[in-house]
């Protein structure tokens, strides 16, 4: 089903380093979102930074050809938003209440965040992160995982923590 948001057969099957024309900076999606820049790509899709002309703020748009996976991600984020209206889990939020889609693509409009941990490491020449910063980030991650577990959205039994011969722990 095409609704005019994205062009049909626009090339998402291209290699990861090639981006379809509709994701080029300056292009408009749904007549509402102006693509600002490409943020990244992975196995399941590509992400662009965009400007929401209706609400006058930046956003991230994840574009995927994997419709089933995108719909599941949308449902999960929708449930999370309903169960956690104060965002105690510090999780990404949907900004548009519906999936944007065409015959070939599904798009999720989400909050725009800053740099990833990988970006920070790369920007700093892969220098070690100060322990105080690691502690701060780890504390936030554990608080988020705890909140997700309380909501029943993340299975966090202590048996999921597996030790290694070096006395470290993996989740």
> 41 pairs with which residues across the strands?
46
Cα pseudo-dihedral 26, 29, 31, 37, rounded to 10: -30
58 Cβ contact partners less than 8 Å away, ≥ 6 residues apart: 36, 49, 50, 51, 52, 112
Residue 67 counted as an annotated binding residue = no
Assigned token pair, 53: 């002309």
Binding residues for ATP: 62
Binding residues: 62
């Amino acid at each position: 089903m095409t609704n005019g948001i994205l062009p049909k057969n626009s090339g998402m099957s291209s290699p990861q380093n090639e981006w379809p024309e509709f994701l080029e900076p300056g292009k408009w999606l749904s007549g509402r979102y102006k693509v600002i820049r490409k943020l990244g790509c992975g196995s399941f899709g590509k992400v662009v930074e965009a400007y929401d002309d209706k609400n006058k703020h930046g956003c991230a748009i994840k574009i995927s050809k994997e419709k089933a996976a995108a719909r599941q991600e949308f449902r999960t984020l929708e449930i999370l938003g309903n169960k956690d209206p104060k965002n105690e889990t510090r999780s990404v939020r949907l900004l548009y209440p519906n999936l944007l889609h065409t015959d070939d693509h599904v798009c999720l409009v989400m909050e725009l965040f800053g740099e990833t941990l990988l970006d920070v490491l790369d920007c700093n020449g892969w220098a070690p992160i100060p322990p105080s910063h690691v502690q701060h980030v780890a504390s936030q991650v554990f608080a988020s995982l705890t909140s997700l577990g309380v909501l029943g959205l993340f299975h966090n039994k202590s048996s999921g923590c597996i030790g290694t011969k070096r006395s470290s722990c993996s989740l």
